[in-house]
Chain A
């Protein structure tokens, strides 16, 4: 009997790593297809941003700057979607721009998805979200300074035409969205140092309120700015996106909009949780096997 035990533990210690790969693959993929519900509790920076946008004066707009590229889409795109849903739910106007050319496609995708979600369920003109009235997609332009400083003076001058080629002056939304004064908060979603540039130029010069959504690895670099109040809250990694999604969903339910929309961040978070647990279980099992076989040797 003891020899079979020893065999198990020794074999466990030298298990073919492909079994680990397989377990991890399944543990991440299955929750993506059949998501289980976990409800992450919002951490302080996430709640801070949500509450600020939620209680923003009605005449102020939310501006989302899509400053990331497709390689970090898994972590950051859910943030863009959640922010759009939030603004449309509480009927705040939205301006969208991209500081990276590759961000244009991502922004467009998010806009298509969220406007479809709202408009396919809309009963009245009031319920639907309309381009040029409720939101605008300015597109991309360069250089960075022109955009960040220029928007403090007159946005239509930085973006004479929008992403779709319409003259921005002709859009009704732009009448009351002249410059940073009409912006309640600007959220830069980025995998680079772009949010810091927004501080250095837009905030230092014009005092616009800022926040950011960034990848998990760069979170440590941005915490100091949240602590100093330069960013009103922050969304860090998939966890941040998932927490925001939960807050938005609760808000929508309160308004009777129980649509059961997919929350990719939350769904990915179930994969994340499962994967983290799996790795921790691996470590525990490895140690049990190690100690059991060592004791037997003694």
Chain B
């Protein structure tokens, strides 16, 4: 009698509204099963079972916790129909649901949730391609001169006056980082100047591929400047890809070789201030440039001049006078104007008509 009441006390009801449907916008192979959650304190969780059409075997797929009301079956084979059953499990009892209707998973060609990204990509690409093209025809695209460029030239001048070396660190990142590419453009110009004036150049690098490219860039600059003889293979060298070991080595170079000018241009992480402050202590003029937002405050405090974010790209375009690069800066300006315009329009729409603008993006 006692045991009977106990049994009754922990009786639980089977889960209801068990439904299964294909997950949209995916590569297929996934079916989501949903059910109504049971509010019973004794409940431990749910067991999810699956049956293939024309088979009478039910397979246990998983056991999920008691707060769930959905399960994603990622082992479904495309175009095969399945149905599902949910078992509510308590310590000593369980309850089986009605099976769901049959359903199957299908792969899709386009992920509709990425539509805004696709539109954005297409619009931005058009803006950029338009300006690349215009830049080729119109050689006089206007770009405001950036204060940092004077600083670059002044710093180089000082290094030549003093006859001391110039150190150029093109960041710690890889070739696929914009900052690295912008930095290598500036490195080319800096190398031309050091070649002309015959002052030593030191370029330590933290990425093997950037090392290969930087070496070619410097070699070409020395040839263009008419001093191929002054190029030697020890100007550009790889140090290590470990952040702090690289910083230790650059600090060592700065204090031993005492370069008159340090360029710290490219992508940097936490080592930024370790390098910049050591350079400041040696009394070198320092020009920094990075789009690593978190490191900008440190360069601002420790360097004589810092190219902030986009200024770095603009400087690289300005200094190389490549028409296409200038076109890119123009396109970037118009894209930014478009972004500001859209933010304002969407805000006005949302505030005045209470439209769900955020869900459109």
Contacts and interface: CB of A to CB of B under 8 A. Distances in A.
Direct interface between A and B, CB < 8 A: yes
Contacts of B64: 205
A179 B67 CA distance: 14
B163 interface: no
B281 A207 contact: no
B44 to A, nearest CB: 7
B148 to A, nearest CB: 25
Interface string A15-52: 00100000000000000000000000000000000000
Interface residues of B, number: 9
Contacts of B66: 206-207
Q: Which 9 A-B pairs have the closest CB atoms?
A: A206-B65, A207-B67, A205-B65, A152-B65, A153-B63, A205-B68, A205-B64, A206-B67, A17-B281
A168 B275 CA distance: 51
5 contacts: A17-B281, A153-B45, A205-B68, A206-B65, A207-B66
Contacts of B68: 205
Interface in B55-79: 63-68
Nearest to A179: B44
A180 interface: yes
A24 to B, nearest CB: 13
Contacts of A17: 281
Nearest to A201: B65
Chain A interface size band reads 10 to 19
A149 B63 CA distance: 9
A290 to B, nearest CB: 15
A59 B65 CA distance: 20
Contacts of A206: 45, 65-67
A206 B43 CA distance: 11
Contact of A205 (B44, B67, B281): B67
Contacts of A204: 67
Interface in A138-181: 149, 152-153, 179-181
Interface string A207-238: 10000000000000000000000000000000
A30 B207 CA distance: 41
A152 B65 CA distance: 6
A205 B44 CA distance: 11
Contacts of A181: 44
Interface string B63-97: 11111100000000000000000000000000000
Given A152-B45, A153-B45, A206-B67, 17 more contacts: A17-B281, A149-B65, A152-B65, A153-B63, A153-B65, A179-B44, A181-B44, A204-B67, A205-B64, A205-B65, A205-B67, A205-B68, A206-B45, A206-B65, A207-B65, A207-B66, A207-B67
Nearest to A206: B65
